[in-house]
Structures are given as C-alpha cells and as structure tokens.
Structure 1
Amino acid sequence: MKEAKMAQDLVFIDGERVHRLLDYPACIAAMEAAMRALSAGATRQLPRTMIHMGEGRTFAQMTASLADDGMFGAKLISVFADPARPGQRSHRGVITLFEPAQGHPVAVVDAEAVTHIRTAAATAVATRALARADARVLLIMGTGGQAHTHLAALPLVHRFERILIWGRDPARAAAVVQQWQDRLPVAVAPDAQAAVAQADVICTVSGAAQPILLGQWVRPGTHVNLVGSSAPGPVEADTALVAAARYIADSKANALEAAAEFLVARAAGVVNDAHIVAEIGEVLLGQVPGRRDARDITLYKSLGHAVQDIAAAQLLLERVRAG
C-alpha cells in the first residue's frame, strides 16, 4: 500500500505541461531567487559530471539541494549533436525532484523544456542587472531554440527598440524573424560585425565551435551574454573579448571547470582565475558591483546549474499541485 501511494504521488511533468505551466515572468523570478541563494551559500550543488560518448555526444549529471530542509534532486541529460541541423545540439533528459521530509521522489520533469526556458530566464535576470539602462538594440547570434526563448524572455526585463537576428545560415535567421515580426521589432542582421557595432546587448546562443563574436567588434558599454557553449571545447567568443570584459558567471566553480571561452583565455596566459570577478548572485545581493560605469563591457557566462533546474522543477510541482 505504501509503495502504491508513493507511485501515485510521483508526478510526471512532460514537455507540453512544462511549456504550459512555466511562464517566463514566474521563471525569471525563480531564477533570480535561485542565483541569489546559490551565492549566499543557502543551496548546495556538486560540480557537473560529464561522460563524453563520442563526437558531439555527452551525458551529464547535475545534482543540487535548495536548502538543508528544501527540495533536492538531479538533472540527467544527454547533449547530442543534431544531424538534421549541423552545428546544433539537442538536450534531452529528466529532472528528478525529491521532498526533504522523508526523501521521497515527488516529480520527474522533462529536462529539455525546462532547460530552454530557465536558461533564457536566467539570461534575462543577468541582462536586467548588467545592461545599461539606456540600452536599446539587442543582437541575438544564433537561430536555434535558445534564440526563440531569449526573444520571449529578454523583452520582459528591458525595452528594446530594435532586435537583430544573425545566424550563420541567413535563411534560418530570416525564419526566426518571420516567426516573431508580429510581436517584436525584429530584423535580420546580414553581417555579424556590422550588427555587433550597433548592439547594446548581445546574446550568443549558437552551437558554434569557433568564435562568432570578436572582442575588437564590441563597443564600450555593451553587455554580452555567452550562452551557447556549456562545456569545454566550443567557443562562441574570442580571447580578446574575455580579456576586455568584466566577467561574471552564473557559478564561479562551474566556470573555472567548464566555461570554454574563459578556459581558452586562461590557457593562453591572458587571464587568471581572478578575472571572474563575481557570480551573478553576488551582484544581485549587492556584494560585488556589476556594471561600474557606462563604458564597462560586462559579460555574463551562462553554463546553467542544478540549483536553477531544481528551482524550476519545484515551481512546476507547486503549480501542478495547485491545479
């Protein structure tokens, strides 16, 4: 009977339900709270572990607890190159959520859907904290799923007068614009360098293996979100940008192990570990200044971490239980 009740209480939340229940305003608020809690030491998480399974194929595990008496769990996810979309990768897996009273599993959640939404929500939090108040032009470099989630999230935290979409495949950039042109002031950017010269906020959300964003292109005062590369290897921006920027990570410990652009710059002797000036949670808590003046190039490195995933899963479970 007890086992039957546990099975009955275990909630399965598929991708369709995630997209229906995990709205961006609520997820943005949850990600801000999660990143504050991480930097305040209220949460616990282990470094991400990864098994490389051949070219373009990785299996990863991310575990965390929201507090000693809070929900805990793990994300198990595969990151495989998509043969139908060269340069693009798909994240597939599950988040398992446990309750803290007796340690029962209470939810299994589609990790792909959560990862797409919470990544863009976290970028929105960082952009609100680090971009100039007068930033008006947003550039998104990449045309996959994260381009769409960032288009949904970022306008919720900042008013952009123009949004440029650049992709290595112009046809894919045009397709993104076509999908969003009735809702946002979006346009195709034919040339990356020219688009960067106009941008106040830049998000790289590509599957690029080599830099698509060069430091010499970026104007003083720009805020950059590096999102697409989440493991050592692929780099979206060059060492010149890393060196020039005020570098802020979602998790400093994770960045020291897995932030590809930073690792390349460090290996070249251009920066050291101290170049990571803060976690975004420390900025949100007022412990470390983010943007110091209008000429700072601020850089937020998004790797994603388990505290974000567990916080998103907890929010979903609460909404399922509320009916």
Structure 2
Amino acid sequence: MKREQLAIFDGQYVRDHLSYPDCIRVVRDAMEALSASTTRQLLRTMIPLGSGRTFAQMPGALGEREMFGAKMISVFADPSSPGLRRHRGVVLLFEPDEGEPVAIADAEEITHIRTAAATAVATDALARADARTLLIVGTGGQARTHLRALPLVRDFDRVHIWGRSFDKAVSLAAEFAAIGAEAVSDLEAATSRADVICTLTTSAEPVILGAWLRPGTHVNLVGSSGPGPVEADNALVAMSRYIADSRASALDAAAEFLVAKQAGVVTDDHIVAEIGEVLLGRVPGRRSADEITLYKSLGHAVQDLAVAAHLYRSSLS
C-alpha cells in the first residue's frame, strides 16, 4: 500500500510520531540486519565546502526487496555558537516494487533521535546490568535526546551532566529534574564515579581520559563522526573492548581509533565486533563485570532509512 502523493515528514512530525521505544526497536533491528549482511550500503561521502561547511551523502538499502534511499545533509558550524554544528537535510525514501520515491523526512530530527536510540541499544547490550550512574558529557541537542533514551534501558539513580559551560549544564539538568539530573563541574571526578558515559561534544581534543575510568565502565563515543576531532585519549581506546556500529565505517572515520592506530597503540583487530554482531549473539559483548566496554557511534544510513520507513508505514495505518 502506498500514498498517492509523496509523504513529507517535517521536524515536528518526526518529533510527534517517532517514540523513543519504537526508535530503539527499529534501530536494534537495523543494526542486526547490517551485521547479517542483509542490507546494502556504501560508506558516506563528504564534500568540503569551506571552513566549517560540509555536504554529506549516505546511500543504502534495507534489503534486496526492501525500502532504499539516501540521507543527504549539510553539516555547518553555527556562527552564533562557536563549537556547535547543525545537521540539516533530508532522508529520501523509495519503495522497492516500482522504485518510486514515497517519502521525504527531516534528517536533523531523525538523526537526533535515532543516534540516541542507537546509543541506548549499545548500552543495553554492553553496560553492566547494575549500572546506576550515568554521565552525559555535552549540553547540546544530542544530550537532550540521550537523556530521554538511556533511562529506557537502565534504571539510573544518578544522572550527571558536564559541559564546558557550567551554566548550560545547570540549565539542562533543570530540564531533566524528573530523572534526578544534576550538573557537575569536575569531569574527572564524575568520570571516576560513572557506570555509563556518553560523550556528545564537538571537542577537537580528548575530554575523557582512560586513567579516569573505574573498572566496569561502559563508554559511548558519539560526538566525533569523522577523522580529526577526538573525545577520548589513546589509553581509553587501548584499554577498552572496542565495538563499532560498522567495522568498515570505523576503519574509515572513527577518529579516536584512527589516532590510536597511527600512534601504534592498537591495530585493526582491536575492533572486536559490530554492535549488530553482539546483538545477534555472534560475538560476546561484555565478558566480565570489570571489563571496560566502548561503543563507537558514527551513524549509518540503514538507521536513518529504517526510521524513515517506520514513519512511512505508520502513516499508512
């Protein structure tokens, strides 16, 4: 069944119709399919347009007889907020029977929600079952979506937020007072107390150091999505059980891993699995209570397409 006209899902529609539990389920299925090789996709291509300006394309197909399409976005620095970037664009969805375009969805809102959902999927698979303290590093839009998604997979009784601006951290914590969020100013101390850490920054240099972590911590590196900016040091990369959303993407664009590899600290074999392989039971995730696990999020076309397909199918009912 198809609409008679091209469906347009703007940002407000995505926010209103894409629930976090549904998105977590959709992304989990998509990452399993990616690692099972039932999807088809290419590495993203990025066209530099000058300082702080990039155009990126991420094509893919959810299966041989499934929806296909592409995410196309501009990644521009926000001149009013140095260090912040906006991801504006669309997800274009085609149906598999006649190859007809059926939907265009706001990519910025899908990216915000599905990235947090993917982190939640990885945290559910890799964090200790008794994880109780969450640390969010960053105060932007991704911090907000992660604060909505992560409590769906673990019962946190302490939620700490750190930002370069303490005032912004205080303001964000006030928004999430219902889950007990509080701002912290000492990042090293907060890191040493955390069970789950999510880095959601645009920092060019490490904000989290391996020496700060306690045994059993799970780390989600989310902020850096290409070569260059790093959020964690080589020691953290080397000491962790390193799991990526996509092995091919990590080898191409996972900044923290590439820096550690260039320094001779790790080799390609340090990427022990894709998260989909863990979800499918092909590779163990966490192997002990004291192991430090790391999930590197780069984002993937199959996540965006799966979410857009979910929105489209839901709109038909």
Residue number among 116, 122, 126 corresponding to 2:112 in the alignment? 116
Residue number among 249, 255, 258 corresponding to 1:254 in the alignment? 249
Determine the structure 1 residue equivalent to 2:80: 84
1:209 aligns with 2:237: no
Listed as ranges, the matches of 1:172-211 within 5 Å are: 172-181=168-177, 183-211=178-206
Determine the structure 2 residue equivalent to 1:96: 92
Extract unaligned runs of 5+ from structure 1. Answer: 1-5
Distance (whole Å) between structure 1 residues aligned to residue 110 and residue 195 of structure 2? 28
Listed as ranges, the matches of 1:126-275 within 5 Å are: 126-181=122-177, 183-275=178-270
Is the contact between residue 41 and residue 61 of structure 2 (CA under 8 Å) also seen in structure 1? yes
1:48 aligns with 2:44: yes
> Could you tell which deviates more after superposition, 81-90 or 295-304?
81-90
CA positional deviation for 1:87: 1.1
Measured on the aligned residues, the alpha-carbon RMSD in Å equals: 1.0
TM-score (norm 1): 0.96
Distance (whole Å) between structure 1 residues aligned to residue 206 and residue 83 of structure 2? 13
Deviations 1:145-197 (A, max 9, x none): 0000000000011100100000011011011011111x211111111001001
Distance (whole Å) between structure 2 residues aligned to residue 241 and residue 144 of structure 1? 24
1:306 aligns with 2:306: no
TM-score (norm 2): 0.98
CA positional deviation for 1:8: 4.5
Letter in 1 for 2:242: Y
Extract unaligned runs of 5+ from structure 2. Answer: none
CA positional deviation for 1:7: 9.5
CA positional deviation for 1:283: 0.2
CA positional deviation for 1:309: 0.5
Distance (whole Å) between structure 2 residues aligned to residue 265 and residue 206 of structure 1? 19
Distance (whole Å) between structure 2 residues aligned to residue 81 and residue 209 of structure 1? 14
CA positional deviation for 1:318: 1.1
User: Quick one: percent identity of the two aligned structures?
Assistant: 63
Deviations 1:240-265 (A, max 9, x none): 10011000000000000000100100
Deviations 1:11-31 (A, max 9, x none): 011000000000000000000
Between the two proteins, the alignment pairs up a number of residues equal to 316
CA positional deviation for 1:54: 1.8
Determine the structure 2 residue equivalent to 1:3: none
Letter in 2 for 1:267: Q
